[in-house]
Amino acid sequence: MKRIAAVAVATLAISLAFAGAARADGSGPPPSGGGCGGGYVAPALSTHLKYRPAHWNLGAEPDDGTLAIAAPGGWSFVRTPEGEGRFHSRSGAALLSLRATTEAGTPAEHMADQVSRLAGTSGLEVVGQHTQVVHGQTWSTLAYRYRTSMSEPRSVKVRWIAFGTGSGAEAALVLTVAGRPLDGRGLDALLAHVTPTVQLAG
């Protein structure tokens, strides 16, 4: 399905760009696991972050709609031209991303297509995929690991969210958290905290 494929490509692009490309907010790529020279490794992402409300316009006009989420305090923010919001930790090692879907498909369909699209990714290991109904919403969550072009291991979790529980409920939002394997517990806590706070208005 063409529109699902577009979402899958965009999701992969988020994680790959996070791993190896300079950021629009100037944070740059995350440091390598071994550090530079002295072998410094930034501490693992905390499981007890403090959060603040954040919201932004999807398009150029307020009438285009808005996205909102509780984001970690102190993380930098950049809004892409497509209306995606990206938050980066101070070290540059962790990412939180929220965007609206642009293609049709249930959360499970998007997740299945993403798994197919990831085939051939360096060091790919799909570590989990499941769909659940929570508080009147449907969440499909994909967890995987891969290696960047610098052979750095990365951990990613992508969650597609539908505001409904029917079998045909289409995904409206895509939530992504990414970091190093050692950030695993922190990423889990981050995803669990922010998912109930996401909002799409307009």
| SS3 assignment for 7-51 | HHHHHHHHHHHHHHCCCCCCCCCCCCCCCCCCCCCCCCCCCCCCE
pLDDT in single tens digits along all 202 residues of the chain:
434 334 444 444 444 444 433 232 222 333 333 344 456 789 999 999 999 999 999 988 878 899 999 999 999 999 999 999 999 999 999 999 999 998 999 999 999 999 999 999 999 999 999 999 999 999 999 999 999 999 999 999 999 999 999 999 999 999 999 999 999 999 999 999 999 999 999 7
For position 119, what pLDDT does the model report? 94
Strand partners, 46: none
The 3-state DSSP class for residue 151 equals coil
Say which amino acid occupies 186: G
For position 60, what pLDDT does the model report? 83
- Residue-range domain boundaries for the chain: 2-201
For position 17, what pLDDT does the model report? 44
Identify which of 161, 94, 20, 42 has the alpha carbon closest to the alpha carbon of residue 86. Answer: 94
HSE-up of 201 (CA within 13 Å, CB side)? 13
pTM of the model: 0.82
CATH topology of domain 2-201: Protein Transport Mog1p; Chain A (3.40.1000)
